[in-house]
Chains A and B, each alone.
Chain A
Amino acid sequence: MKIFVLNCGSSSVKYKLYDMEGERVLAEGRVERVGQENATITHQSTGKEKITKTMPILEHTVAISETLHLLLHPEHGVLNSLDEIDAVGHRVVHGGESFSESTLIKEDTKDILDSLAELAPLHNPANVMGIRAAERLMPHTPQVAVFDTAFHSTMPSHAYLYAIPFNLYQKHKVRRYGFHGTSHLFVTQKAAEMIGKDIKDLRIVSCHLGNGASIAAVQGGQSVDTTMGFTPLEGLMMGTRSGDIDPGAIFYLMKTYDLSLHEIDSLLNKHSGLYGIAGVSDMRDIEKKMSEGDRLAQMAFDMYEYRIRKYIGAYIAAMGGIDALVFTAGIGENTPSLRTKLCQNLSYLGIELNEELNQKRGEPLDITTEDSKVRVFVIPTDEELVIARDTATIVGRE
């Protein structure tokens, strides 16, 4: 079975074509600057030369159409006909309360997704655009939506409710949803596999640390709590997002500077986090500045580490213990110094880091010593594979 996975952003399209027998990637690539005259397509079929093209791509339908042409290309492609694609799997950021699991897309699905645009204005409209474009180009191929929020739908109400008037939850569904679900699912399943135990018997804290960052408490294979909330602004300190902040401080700032909703939203989403403290948002830049003795970069790093540690502690309390800690995504996978510091500070749990293994990159690794009481893993995430697996399961069932 061949599954085509699409991840459409507002100005980008990422794609992977899988052969589900052996979960092999047949081709992958991305289109950037969709909507502009100088959009770029980077495409690589496995075992073939990587190609890059620059051309005007004004909308998602054209972007997807171009990628399909590349898949069919006699030299660079891997397909003879689009009929070989059995289903298309779409990443959809916000499924709200309507979708607690991946779903086959029907006419009313898109209407519901449209209605969820307010909850994820940066992501959902682009996701739906991708769905409509793929439907136009492959009208007879089943389309499946896989939601970032779905994995967290198992959270108990005491974890997902906010302590605000209950009718606001009933009326507007204001609650914690959580994000990065496909990533947390993938890495915790992989960790269980590496431990060699049924995930049902494990308590895992999963740290997805990218430019956006979240931690999930995964007990028995189910998310029981996560740091991101109603939107991806809550929780950890991130590249440019504040994470947790007293709402009272927001009111104070709005009053003091006479800030509009747009201004305070932009302040918290784009001017805060690592960038707000140190003036740079990339962890590699933070580390470089720290090595040069930059005090604010050091402070940003310490804050970043502390907040992760604080939530790890909270989730150990929530689950009554911990068997494994997992790091994934850009910062989680590529910043050994952060993992070292976290594990040193968590040594009271009996964590013993193998520093040599901690320095390795690019493959799933247990980075602890044999004596460590808690396993610590670095696992490169693969959200597309989760989407492909879910899509294959749903299409196989139908």
Chain B
Amino acid sequence: MDIRRIAVLGAGRLGRGIAENAASKGYDVVLFSQGAGGQDALRRIENSLDRKLARWAITEAEKRVILGRITFTLDLKELSKVDLLVEATIDHIYTKQELLRTADQLCQPDVVFVTTSSTLKLSDLARSITRSESLVGLHLIPPVPEVPVAELVRCHKTSDAAVEVVKGFAKRLGKEVIEINESIGLVNPRALLSLINEAAYMLDEGVGDTQSIEKLIKDSWGMVQGPFEMADRLGLDLVLNWMEQMQQAYGDRFAPCPLLYRYVRQKRLGVKTNLGFFSYNQEGKQED
């Protein structure tokens, strides 16, 4: 099937990033969200494009074309008109299963489903739908338009044909696809969470202050962001949610650092609340 129109379920940072990336590569995108802030998604995508415009990465005309390709809706019936479905909601097994079941009933039978889940087992999600052979895992990392690689995962039910469709989609998004075996946490979240958690422990134990630990890790290994900034940009609530799911799967080696609980309780969630490990202004820039 020629894929021209895609659905993105979820208008959080990941969903918006996928929508923007796909629209900039010529796909028509229908963005669905029933969560808080979903209505705001188009404005936030426009803000993201404005930031690119200010950095000369796109032109005013390109911005208009990209925005023109994205529509936002609350009406799931629109799913009957899409050629590919990308699910990018928060990793919660029952919510995701329910959403996928609904989409399964509404989408055309030959539509391939993509899930961006990283801490849930693909086979558990596949079980909830009739097209279980057409569900493929694709882990995209925010900011989606800028990150050049993606982890692709299949379970024992996944068909080669569905994998080929998703590889083609990811390639058109500009991603190098690396196929890995099914595992909770995949490669990136699993490695990243360990790093963030250990950095949080070091901070909690007073090994160094936030800036020192961040700079040592970031500059020593040539990283664009250190563990604290990465956590702040992901959202500490999301990090904690992932950690808890990983703890269930792997035991105490993923036990969240108490500091993470404290920050989440205090609503220090990172960029979205302007305060996490670091402080941020309204544009999401780190403040000294």
Contacts and interface: CB of A to CB of B under 8 A. Distances in A.
Q: Do A and B bind each other?
A: yes
Interface of A: 35, 58, 240, 257, 259-260, 262-264, 266-267, 270-271
A263 to B, nearest CB: 5
A36 to B, nearest CB: 9
A271 B59 contact: yes
Contact of A262 (B2, B57, B59): B57
B178 interface: no
B56 A267 contact: yes
7 contacts: A257-B55, A260-B57, A260-B146, A263-B55, A263-B57, A266-B57, A270-B56
Contact of A259 (B2, B26, B55, B146): B55
Contacts of B59: 240, 266, 270-271
Contacts of A35: 26
Interface residues of B, number: 8
A262 B56 CA distance: 9
Interface string B48-74: 000000011111000000000000000
Interface of B: 2, 26, 55-59, 146
A256 to B, nearest CB: 12
A58 B56 contact: no
A58 B57 contact: no
B162 to A, nearest CB: 22
B2 A266 contact: no
B56 A271 contact: yes
B184 to A, nearest CB: 33
Q: Which residue of B2, B55, B58, B146 has the most chain A CB atoms within 10 A of its CB atom? A: B55
B172 to A, nearest CB: 12
A397 B132 CA distance: 60
Contacts of B26: 35
A211 B55 CA distance: 23
A260 B55 CA distance: 10
Contacts of B57: 260, 262-263, 266
A58 to B, nearest CB: 7
Contacts of A240: 59
Contacts of A266: 56-59
A85 B96 CA distance: 58
A163 to B, nearest CB: 28
Contacts of B58: 266
Nearest to A268: B56
Nearest to B2: A58
A35 B27 CA distance: 11
Contacts of B56: 259, 263-264, 266-267, 270-271
Nearest to A264: B56
A316 to B, nearest CB: 36
A259 B51 CA distance: 12
Contacts of A260: 57, 146
Nearest to B57: A263
Minimum-distance CB pairs A-B, first 7: A267-B56, A263-B57, A271-B56, A270-B59, A263-B55, A266-B57, A266-B56
A260 B224 CA distance: 12
Nearest to A281: B59
A259 B2 CA distance: 35
B23 to A, nearest CB: 14
B50 to A, nearest CB: 14
A192 B173 CA distance: 50
B152 to A, nearest CB: 24
A262 B147 CA distance: 13
Given A35-B26, A257-B55, 8 more contacts: A259-B55, A260-B146, A263-B57, A264-B56, A266-B57, A266-B58, A266-B59, A267-B56
Nearest to A262: B57
Contacts of A259: 55-56
Q: Which residue of A240, A260, A263, A266 has the most chain B CB atoms within 10 A of its CB atom? A: A266
Nearest to B174: A262
A358 B38 CA distance: 60
Nearest to A257: B55
Nearest to A271: B56
Contacts of A267: 56
Nearest to A267: B56
Contacts of A58: 2
A35 B55 CA distance: 29
A240 B60 CA distance: 13
Nearest to B54: A257
Nearest to A56: B4
A266 B53 CA distance: 10
A398 B272 CA distance: 69
A262 B24 CA distance: 14
Nearest to A276: B56
A267 B56 CA distance: 5
A279 to B, nearest CB: 10
Contacts of B2: 58
A88 B56 CA distance: 40
B4 to A, nearest CB: 8
A282 B56 CA distance: 19
B30 to A, nearest CB: 16
Contacts of B146: 260
A36 B109 CA distance: 24
Nearest to B61: A270
B160 to A, nearest CB: 25
A32 B26 CA distance: 15
A167 B235 CA distance: 49
Contacts of B55: 257, 259, 263
A271 B55 CA distance: 10
A98 B146 CA distance: 35
A259 B52 CA distance: 11
A263 B146 CA distance: 11
B143 to A, nearest CB: 12
A230 to B, nearest CB: 21
B255 to A, nearest CB: 36
